[in-house]
């Protein structure tokens, strides 16, 4: 046994999970992941089924308990749940994520490790790393997905981010977790190295070193630029959906936009007008006329009601008008925020299960992109930017990315800053500039390297003006998606198992 007393190992697992949060925005201490990942591998690599699953569960509770604590804000402050109930629902959310994603990951690792009698710590390290990445990907789509706190995001703003246009965020995750586990295996073996272990360490070191020449490769090129004004209205969430406050909201956005007509793009954030399109048709027509008269494309988020099928359907949408054209319905909906699972049971129990605009339908995958003079724009609404392969697919035929959001639901918590970090990764992976328009921040222009060009301070109304380059070309990640990394992870498992069987 690594630890005769199980309690220290259990405690180390929970602490390792909680430490993950420090690697992401706003803290950005990415080397913490090497320590935390190595720690959870260390305390599970020789344990039996039961203690390993216990430690996996404690790790998941630490990871999601610290990393997604911002859920509490939306439940308590804007869902009107009392503190005890909000804490309970947050805990249930954390336990759900742990039971659906983390425990199955550790169970898969244990079953593979024991079924094929993988004994060498360095082989177990490769097995653990490969299973980890496959389950990060699994988290992206299972039960609509929750691709948050993926290790690769922590490498933004480091020289090693240059792998992102090639291998995406999962490639960065694989680099981090493999390195952490292999280094831990060296410590476990008391620095006694084996041939296969040395080879794995050399390959990993080469991958880290290759980041530097990769950073000099330009995958996409500029073909032009669009001037833009992105409006940050800073409407309080407590007032945003109040019918009596609608006139003030319209006045705020019209006032901020008054001098911006003439820009190529004028952009309002997600659900800037918190009312269905059909109920403000005259307002939208006025905005269309102003945009046309000034040669601008007006882009806004607005709830859309559609009765074309004979059955009322509601969509979270982006509409482009003026000299541009397009309508996009959100495809990736947020559970409870935009639709209620088990609606017949939960709807009406508490305010949190009856939030404004929580009955949206899902848009189809065959929608056209937004068209403006001299460019095609890939639109994303809020949560959609957290899906790497979805975002890359959307971007293929575009020259510019636009995402609109309303992170006001999460107040001054770390959630919106994590969300912004994720959005930046999408620009890096696709080699595209991104204009991000939000209600209260962070409204920003992000370049093709994932860097913030300019932004508006959070929690203040304002206007972000600038020129957004239009790009052409594709990155390897746009072309192949996450499949190469997933196949490589599977290959790591196969080779590890094969080598282990040969050495029995």
The proportion of the chain whose per-residue pLDDT surpasses 70, expressed as a percent, equals 94
pLDDT digits 0-9 by tens, 432-478: 999 999 999 899 999 999 999 999 999 999 999 999 999 999 999 99
Q: What is the pLDDT of residue 499?
A: 75
| Claim to verify: residue 125 and residue 80 sit in the same structural domain | yes
188 assigned to some structural domain: yes
252 close to 461: Cβ distance less than 8 angstroms: yes
| Claim to verify: residue 193 and residue 207 sit in the same structural domain | yes
Q: What is the pLDDT of residue 311?
A: 80
**On the CB side of 159, how many CA atoms lie within 13 Å of its CA?**
9
345 assigned to some structural domain: no
At residue 223, does pLDDT exceed 50?
yes
- Asked whether the CA dihedral 45, 50, 55, 60 is positive or negative, the reply is positive
| Claim to verify: residue 113 and residue 204 sit in the same structural domain | yes
Distance CA 74, CA 54 (A): 29
| Claim to verify: residue 166 and residue 198 sit in the same structural domain | yes
| Claim to verify: residue 160 and residue 226 sit in the same structural domain | no
What confidence tier does 355 reach under pLDDT thresholds 50, 70, 90? low
78 close to 409: Cβ distance less than 8 angstroms: yes
CATH number where 402 lies: 3.60.110.10
Q: What is the pLDDT of residue 359?
A: 79
| Claim to verify: residue 445 and residue 320 sit in the same structural domain | yes
| Claim to verify: residue 166 and residue 183 sit in the same structural domain | yes
**The token pair that represents 84 in the structure block:** 């005890």
| Claim to verify: residue 150 and residue 226 sit in the same structural domain | no
What amino acid positions are annotated as catalytic residues? Answer: 270, 330, 382
Q: Is the preceding peptide bond at 285 cis, omega within 30 degrees of 0?
A: no
Contacts of 113 (CB under 8 A, 6+ apart): 124, 127
234 assigned to some structural domain: yes
**The token pair that represents 437 in the structure block:** 């328009």
Q: What is the pLDDT of residue 310?
A: 72
385 assigned to some structural domain: no
Range of the domain at 267: 221-332+362-378+395-406+421-474
| Claim to verify: residue 228 and residue 180 sit in the same structural domain | no
| Claim to verify: residue 181 and residue 290 sit in the same structural domain | no
Give the β-pairing of 370-372 and 221-232: unpaired
Q: What is the pLDDT of residue 342?
A: 54
Q: Which of 132, 163, 218 is nearest to 425 (CA)?
A: 163
| Claim to verify: residue 327 and residue 232 sit in the same structural domain | yes
187 assigned to some structural domain: yes
Provide the number of structural domains found in the chain: 2
Q: Which of 184, 174, 168, 169 is nearest to 16 (CA)?
A: 184
DSSP code, position 335: B
354 assigned to some structural domain: no
pLDDT digits 0-9 by tens, 327-348: 999 999 987 777 666 555 555 5
Q: What is the pLDDT of residue 3?
A: 47
274 assigned to some structural domain: yes
Mean pLDDT score across all residues of the chain: 93
Instruction: Determine the average pLDDT of the residues in 218-224.
Output: 97
pLDDT digits 0-9 by tens, 8-63: 999 999 999 999 999 999 999 999 999 999 999 999 998 999 999 999 999 999 99
1 assigned to some structural domain: no
Contacts of 370 (CB under 8 A, 6+ apart): 299, 318, 320, 324, 325, 326, 328, 376, 377, 378, 379, 402
Beta strands in 274-397 (DSSP E): 297-306, 313-322, 326-329, 370-372, 375-381
Instruction: Determine the average pLDDT of the residues in 124-149.
Output: 96
| Length of the chain in terms of residues written | 504
| Claim to verify: residue 153 and residue 199 sit in the same structural domain | yes
pLDDT digits 0-9 by tens, 359-416: 789 999 999 999 999 999 999 999 999 999 999 999 999 999 999 999 998 999 999 9
Give the chain's largest Cα–Cα span: 77
At residue 321, does pLDDT exceed 70?
yes
Beta bridge partners of 445: 435, 454
């Amino acid at each position: 046994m690594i630890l005769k007393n199980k309690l220290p190992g259990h405690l180390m697992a929970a602490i390792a999970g909680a430490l993950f949060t420090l690697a992401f925005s706003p803290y950005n201490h990415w080397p913490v992941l090497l320590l935390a990942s190595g720690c959870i591998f260390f305390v599970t690599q020789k344990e039996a089924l039961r203690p390993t699953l216990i430690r996996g569960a404690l790790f998941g509770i630490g990871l999601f308990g610290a990393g997604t604590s911002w859920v509490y804000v939306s439940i308590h402050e804007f869902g009107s749940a009392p503190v005890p109930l909000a804490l309970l629902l947050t805990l249930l959310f954390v336990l759900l994520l742990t039971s659906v994603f983390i425990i199955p990951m550790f169970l898969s690792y244990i079953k593979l490790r024991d079924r094929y009698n993988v004994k060498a710590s360095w082989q177990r390290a490769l097995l653990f790393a490969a299973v980890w990445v496959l389950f990060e990907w699994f988290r992206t789509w299972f039960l609509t997905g929750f691709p948050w706190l993926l290790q690769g995001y922590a490498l933004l703003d480091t020289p090693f981010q240059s792998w992102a246009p090639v291998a995406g965020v999962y490639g960065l995750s694989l680099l981090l977790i493999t390195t952490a586990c292999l280094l831990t295996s060296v410590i476990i073996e008391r620095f006694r190295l084996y041939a296969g272990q040395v080879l794995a360490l050399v390959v990993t070191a080469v991958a880290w070193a290759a980041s530097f020449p990769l950073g000099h490769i330009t995958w996409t090129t500029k073909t032009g630029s669009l001037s833009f004004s992105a409006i940050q209205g800073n409407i309080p969430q407590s007032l945003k959906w109040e019918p009596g406050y609608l006139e003030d909201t319209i006045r705020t956005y019209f006032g901020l936009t008054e001098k911006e007509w003439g820009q190529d793009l004028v952009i309002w954030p997600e659900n800037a007008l918190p009312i269905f399109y059909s109920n403000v048709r005259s307002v939208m027509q006025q905005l269309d006329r102003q945009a046309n008269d000034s040669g601008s494309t007006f882009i806004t988020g607005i709830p859309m009601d559609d009765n074309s099928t004979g059955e009322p359907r509601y969509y979270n949408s982006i509409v482009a008008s003026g000299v541009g054209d397009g309508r996009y319905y959100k495809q990736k909906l947020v559970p409870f925020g935009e639709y209620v699972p088990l609606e017949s049971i939960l709807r009406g129990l508490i305010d949190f299960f009856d939030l404004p605009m929580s009955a949206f339908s899902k848009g189809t995958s065959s929608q056209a992109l937004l068209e403006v003079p001299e460019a095609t724009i890939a639109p994303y609404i809020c949560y959609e930017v957290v899906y790497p392969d979805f975002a890359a697919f959307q971007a293929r035929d575009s020259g510019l990315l636009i995402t609109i959001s309303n992170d006001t639901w999460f107040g001054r918590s770390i959630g919106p800053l994590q969300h912004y970090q994720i959005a930046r990764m999408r620009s890096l992976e696709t080699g595209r500039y991104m204009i991000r328009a939000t209600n209260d921040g962070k409204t920003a222009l992000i370049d093709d390297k994932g860097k913030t060009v300019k932004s508006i301070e959070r929690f203040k109304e304002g206007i972000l003006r600038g020129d957004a380059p239009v790009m052409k070309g594709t990155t390897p990640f746009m072309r192949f998606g996450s499949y190469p990394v997933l196949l490589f992870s599977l290959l790591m498992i196969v080779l590890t198992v094969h080598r282990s069987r040969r050495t029995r």
